[in-house]
Chains A and B, each alone.
Chain A
Amino acid sequence: MGRYLLRRVIQVPIVLWILVTATFFLMRYTPGGPFDMDKQVDPAVKAQMEAKYNLDKPMPVQYGLFLWDLVRLDLGPSFKNKTMTVNEIIAAKAPASAVLGLYAVVIALVLGLGAGVVAGVRQNSVFDYGSMTVAMVGLAVPTFVVGPLLALVFGIYLGWLPVAGYEGMDGLRYLVLPAFTLALPFAARIARLARAGMLEVIHQDYIRTAWAKGLSEQVVVLRHALRGAMLPVVSFLGPAVAQILTGSLVVEQIFGIPGIGREFVQGATNRDYTLVMGTVILFGVLLVGFNLLVDILYGFLDPRIRYA
């Protein structure tokens, strides 16, 4: 466990550094500076602006300053939103994304694990075929198709749920459609992984031993088979966070949720460099953090790794 975890921990700063550097140079070496789009800007004003944002300094200095700010957890001022810093924008917009993501993860885990485990235990049953077909739909049909369709049916035709808007954590009605939309592909992957894991485990010798002890099916499945079957799901959870975050770019747009995803897309099209960099770095940190968390969790689930 120690060596294994150590390797992972060492990777964290490397990954973050690559990400940050790639983002920095992608933004800086873009054809056209951030203030070139405002055509009517007075050259003097422009120079002043560039000085303010350190754009007049040589590239290595800019890079150094940027890294130094990052270390101090300062993402700098927003290029386009003159009144707010990137930190403030993120602080204002992250909660909505977090709430949405949280609900989506819960829905995905409950639906995915439930369906996957039952489908694996009852292989080739009607439930198996049915849930796996639904899972395939969840995988194949993109979020931005599912979202509008759900909104069309449940929001517009049936009028059960609001189509757009956000009322905080308590405005559950507003979160049902976006959370389901966001969770669906994720639940589909989990279901398929859990089913595959279950099929693999259920044919192991030690499951036969468990049956031979006279245990009931429930105990055999929950106590003996589930843990092993969960392993592939657990290793998927790290990347899944990234999936949920990228998915939220679209879902937030469709359902009008004031989250980070929307900020990112707007920032990218407006060339709000600091904002875009800030969000990418935030996503990167989250992703790396979750991957590490998953690795630790994996170690706890599988004693063979813990002691290896």
Chain B
Amino acid sequence: MSGPGGPGAAAPAPPPAAAAPSAAGPRKGTSLWADAWKRLRKNHMAMLGLWVVVAMSLVSALAPWLVLFDPTYEENWIGAQAPGHRHPDVLTKNVLEVGQPAEVAAGQRAAGEVVFICDETVETEYRIAVRRGKVSDVQRAEGAIKLEALDASAAGDALVEVLEDGTRGPRLEGVRVEKGAPLPEAFGARGRSAVLFVRHVEGARKRVEYRATLVDGVVRALARDGAPVPRAELSGRDLLEVSADGRPQTHAHPLGTDLKGRDLLSRILYGGRISMLVGIVATVVSLLIGVVYGAVSGYAGGRTDDVLMAIVDILFAIPYMFLVILLLVNFGRDIVVLFIALGAVQWLTMARIVRGQILSLKEKEFVEAARMSGTGPAGILFRHLIPNTMGVVVVYTTLTVPAVILQESFLAFIGLSVEYQGQSLESWGALVKAGVDSLGTDGSRSWLLLWPSFAMAATLFSLNFLGDGLRDALDPKQRGRS
């Protein structure tokens, strides 16, 4: 209740309660829970935690109705894009053929007239090899034709590097790559040996307009720069603008996209579903085992109690995470296996806590009264004792959920993502892992690490604060204990 600020402020808490004899007016009949809620409301961090947890749970649970993107939907041509990226709403391949249904993004099928602005600039891909600091080989990818030089120094020409992950580097203008000469500085430091793929973009952007008239999603007429054509196949990568009935068709990725062009926000929200589901279900499993085991042990007492608690002691000493890893590796990573495995790790502490509570509760008068009135042991246990342990159980549950989420994400991080019927479910741990893997040597694309980490950390942080707050609220004497 206070700290010794100095010697004068030393020593034990004063007995204000004793100094103020309290029994003078009957206390208001507030229940334990109402009282605890009152105390919890004064704990700002715990309340903040509560709201964050509620918000996160809601948003995760409602993810399918909240986000526009399927978290597995890949927009390969955009690659990893920073948060806030907007681009035309198109498919990887958009096909327009007169008389056929238009294969375009959903938002454009219902329109009457769709206009695509396409970049039809000629691009040729080359492979450039560097050995001992000098360009040793220049080859056109198509047909593997060897060249002496690649000249992009003409006005409007440019070289664009295609990066490992399929995204494009910046436009490099006025460069010339020559066999036997060093790589132009514009490419940046590459070390003494390297292989790079570049696209030679010839001339200025060539904007071509495709205008399609649709009726019930079927193409009725199609024109390229005003001249009718029967069919057009437009790559998502080349489309600069799209409009449907005059409205520009774009969509945004508020938190950016990953290497495969998947929307990060959607992935985080869906990842939260997995993490929270695992956290809650495994906690419930541990709750069921732990409460029953602990209650039986505490209620039985004597030798039974000794033996049951010795078992718990022994199981405690086993490095469980290793066994869980073995289990997942050998018996598949099905989500049900994980529920059971993680629940089995967590029940031990619950059992100990509940047993301790039952031990002290069973000596209370109300238990004696119940026994006198003919209630059997099971009735006493389940109707009188266990309900009275709910305070600690609630507190411990709040602290178990984040522990389980942490463990699952840990498993996901070492490559043991959960699966459901053979399909990989990507929890927050898997997203963080993907973020680490796609960080790049220079730390660009950090959003792929930061946002999933933030979502996960905020949730765990909040759950822990809420758990701490609940403990303080339910048992003020225990304040600050771990």
Contact = CB atoms under 8 A, between A and B. Distances in A.
Q: Is chain B found bound to chain A in the same assembly?
A: yes
Given A26-B326, A149-B449, A217-B4, A242 B414 contact: no
Nearest to B2: A123
B330 interface: yes
Contact of B11 (A128, A207, A245, A269): A207
Contacts of A58: none
Contact of A283 (B6, B319, B327, B460): B319
B377 interface: no
A220 interface: yes
B303 interface: no
Contacts of B461: 136-137, 140-141
A148 B10 CA distance: 44
B2 A288 contact: no
B442 interface: yes
B326 A14 contact: no
Most chain B CB within a 10 A radius of its CB, from A148, A208, A280:
A148
A269 B325 CA distance: 10
B319 A152 contact: no
A11 B413 CA distance: 33
B322 A246 contact: yes
A220 B429 CA distance: 45
B7 A192 contact: no
B122 interface: no
A268 B481 contact: no
B482 A268 contact: no
Most chain B CB within a 10 A radius of its CB, from A203, A204, A212:
A203
B408 to A, nearest CB: 10
Contact of A139 (B318, B325, B464): B464
Contacts of B456: 141-142, 145
Nearest to B459: A140
Interface string B383-426: 00000000000000000001000100110011100000000000
Contact of B432 (A144, A204, A239): A144
Interface stretch (B22-30, B32-40, B146-154, B433-441): B433-441
Interface string B438-458: 010111001001100100110
B480 A145 contact: no
Contacts of B54: none
Contacts of B316: 239
B443 to A, nearest CB: 4
Contacts of B155: none
Contacts of A40: none
A145 B443 contact: no
Contacts of A268: 325-326, 329
A137 B443 CA distance: 23
Contacts of A199: 479-481
A19 B322 CA distance: 10
B2 A141 contact: no
Given A144-B429, A207-B12, A217-B6, A152 B330 contact: no
Contact of A31 (B13, B331, B432, B463): B331
B439 A30 contact: no
B12 A203 contact: yes
B3 interface: yes
A22 B71 CA distance: 38
Nearest to B465: A136
A200 interface: yes
A250 B453 CA distance: 15
Most chain A CB within a 10 A radius of its CB, from B321, B460, B480:
B480
A291 interface: yes
Contacts of A30: 330-331
Interface in A25-50: 26-27, 30-31
13 contacts: A27-B330, A124-B2, A137-B457, A140-B460, A141-B457, A142-B429, A142-B460, A144-B413, A144-B433, A202-B4, A208-B10, A212-B11, A288-B317
Closest 3 CB pairs of A and B: A123-B3, A30-B330, A140-B460
Interface of B: 2-7, 10-13, 310, 313-319, 321-323, 325-327, 329-331, 402, 406, 409-410, 413-415, 429, 432-433, 435-436, 439, 441-443, 446, 449-450, 453, 456-457, 460-461, 463-465, 468, 479-482
Interface of A: 11, 14-15, 18-19, 22-23, 26-27, 30-31, 120-125, 128, 136-137, 139-145, 148-149, 152, 156-157, 189, 192-193, 195-196, 199-200, 202-205, 207-208, 211-212, 216-217, 220, 232, 239, 242, 245-246, 249-250, 253-254, 264-265, 268-269, 271, 276, 279-280, 283-284, 287-288, 291
Given A136-B468, A268-B326, 19 more contacts: A27-B326, A123-B2, A125-B3, A140-B457, A140-B460, A140-B463, A141-B457, A142-B456, A142-B457, A148-B432, A148-B439, A193-B482, A205-B12, A217-B6, A254-B436, A265-B415, A287-B317, A288-B317, A291-B317
